[in-house]
Structure 1
Amino acid sequence: MQNIKPIRVFLEVVEQASFAGAARSLRMTPASVTRIIAQLEQDLGQQLLLRTTRQVSLTGAGAMVAARYRPVVQEFDRITQEVIRATHPDRGRLAINAPMSFGIRLLPDLVNSFSLAYPNITLDVQMTDRLVDIVDETCDLAIRISGPPSDKSTIWRRICQVPRAVIAAPALFDRIPRPETPDELDPAWCLSYGSSRAPETWHFAKSGLKRSIRAGTRIVSNNGEFLYGLAATGNGMVNLPDFLVREGVRGGRVEPVLTDWDIPPLDLMLYYPPYEVLPPLVATFTEFFEDYIRDIDGFDFSAL
């Protein structure tokens, strides 16, 4: 036996418990699968499979071959992908982690454009609003809207700033007074973004003045889309990134509050595992991502 293909075919027959099923999965003819298995058995001098009209089962020798070779093939495939990622900027598999609201709003179009530009790169996109350990999560890069990470082993790149605004539905101010200063904000009507039950703190600045207001605990959530939906139906005010609220403001569903006060922006960041040098595949996505975001409303590159 001089190559790994017969073992792959054998393992697929075991997985499918069927020659015909393995042939479909591997896009081969049943006759080709049968011939390859017969040659493998001849090369090893052992019968590996018991065939009946109803099923395919392993012999003792077949069970040993499957148990020994399966992890070898898996490790072979893993190393092959690592080599491809390290040497080919336009082909291979890329694992990405992104925040939920950003992912839902922006990634479908971004991924579509990226796939058209790089059809030989496959993507695994996972979304969560918690700050992931990028090494434990085994992803190639993570998109985050936050400040710089505290983990010194993490490499990060600031892409741009993300402006924020406090917004509310116009109808809310038929029920409560419109605040003219941060001090007039009623925490009971301020929805908190966060991953714990603690209230969020909102910071404001104007002409050298600074104010910090603690939002309420009536509703706390770690998902911006959910909080936007609540605010848009008149359930309170919320402090969110511009890219989440811009469309609603333009359509009149929500309106900004305290527009003469500045709110500190967040940063759009890319986090990486502790690479010495970015793998070409990761560098390809990074460059595409930054260029794509530059054309999207709601992000500020002027401060970089």
Structure 2
Amino acid sequence: MSKINQLESLRVLKKVYELGSFTGAAKQLNLSVARVSKSVDRLELELKTKLFVRSTRHLQATDNGTRCYQYGIKMLEQWEQLTDEVTDAQFKSQGNIKVGVPMSWGLSVFSTISAKFMAKYPNITIDVHMTDKYVNVFEGEYDLVLRLASDLEDSTLLCKKLKGYKLVVCATPEYLLKHSELKSPEDLVNHRCLVFSQDGSNTKWVFSKQSKSINIHANAHLKSNNSLLLKDAMLSHVGIAVVPDFIVGQYIKAGQLIPLLTEYSTKELNLYSLRPANKLLPKRLQLFNQFLLEELSL
């Protein structure tokens, strides 16, 4: 078997293992199902072992299949790193980076950062996918996923906290003039609340003061899974919202929004970077990570 065919077979094995499907692997690799099946057959013949147990409904990796996958991804990453380094040596840093970013943060913060990065590294292209839904790093073939959350638990990925953002309770001066005074979280029951909710069901706001936690079930006049929409609604003087400071900071500085309940704490929203733990870092991604950290520290 030629070296090139070995590399292709390892790429096929990686996709079949991760997706659990010959058809899915063929679709992502833009190959025929027959070619995918033949590539796996070649590997099994050369290694003299069964890598997958096939049935009409199910595809299960054997112990040797899992072992081959674990070694195979390391070999593929080493090959990719070698080609990256050789390319970098000849043509400087280049290539594509596929990144998944949260929608509101992407439009408010990342759009500026990505433009600066492309100006500095014109030979590196960025494929940006913006969504507030959970992103599967493996299935989407992402080099890096950025995620906003209070905390994360995902042992299969390398996770790094990049920055913390405060959640701010605020409203416009015009809204506050027309509605009752807000002295404590309990007073929110008398106000029109604009609530971030991923699935439309969670309307709970959590505050704390002197180690005491206060849970408020907001009277939601508007629910949305997009904080930018809530910000626009606030600026139209229709209610109070709890939103990240990266969205409302400029409006607070300009006096268009007033921060409320400042003596109470809310949960911090953290920005995390996620990438596969078994994947080596090519030069272009090293540059991107470093640039991202520098920009977020400003």
**TM-score bucket (shorter structure):** 0.5 to 0.7
Q: Which amino acid aligns with 1:234?
A: H
Which residue among 145, 150, 155 is the counterpart of 1:147?
150
Are residue 201 (structure 1) and residue 207 (structure 2) matched? no
Contact 1:147 1:267 in 2 (8 A): yes
Contact 2:109 2:246 in 1 (8 A): no
Contact 2:191 2:240 in 1 (8 A): no
What is aligned with 1:222?
225
Are residue 281 (structure 1) and residue 297 (structure 2) matched? no
Q: Which amino acid aligns with 1:122?
A: T
RMSD over aligned CA atoms reads 2.6
Q: Which amino acid aligns with 1:288?
A: F
What is aligned with 2:97?
94
SS, match of residue 221 in structure 2: coil
Deviation at 1:242, TM superposition (A): 0.8
Matches within 5 A, 1:1-304: 82=80, 86-87=84-85, 88=88, 90-186=93-189, 189-295=192-298
CA distance, structure 2, for counterparts of residue 85 and residue 173 of structure 1: 60
Contact 1:193 1:223 in 2 (8 A): yes
Deviation at 1:85, TM superposition (A): 7.4
Structure 2's unaligned 5+ residue stretches are 1-29, 37-75
CA distance, structure 2, for counterparts of residue 90 and residue 248 of structure 1: 38
- Name the CA shift for 1:183/1:96 in 2 (closer, same or farther; >3 Å): same
CA distance, structure 1, for counterparts of residue 163 and residue 279 of structure 2: 23
Q: Which deviates the most, 141-150 or 119-128?
A: 141-150
For residues 198-235 of structure 1, the C-alpha deviation after alignment (integer angstroms, 9 at most, x for no partner) is 13322222233321212234321111100111111112
For residues 107-139 of structure 1, the C-alpha deviation after alignment (integer angstroms, 9 at most, x for no partner) is 232112111221211111111111211111211
Moved over 4 A (4+): 79-86
Q: Which has the larger radius of gyration?
A: 1
- Name the CA shift for 1:200/1:255 in 2 (closer, same or farther; >3 Å): same
TM-score, scaled to structure 2:
0.67
Contact 1:85 1:92 in 2 (8 A): no
Identical-residue share of aligned pairs (%): 24
Q: Which amino acid aligns with 2:218?
A: A
- Name the CA shift for 1:230/1:276 in 2 (closer, same or farther; >3 Å): same
- Name the CA shift for 1:84/1:174 in 2 (closer, same or farther; >3 Å): farther
Contact 2:224 2:230 in 1 (8 A): yes
Q: Give the number of equivalent residue pairs.
A: 221
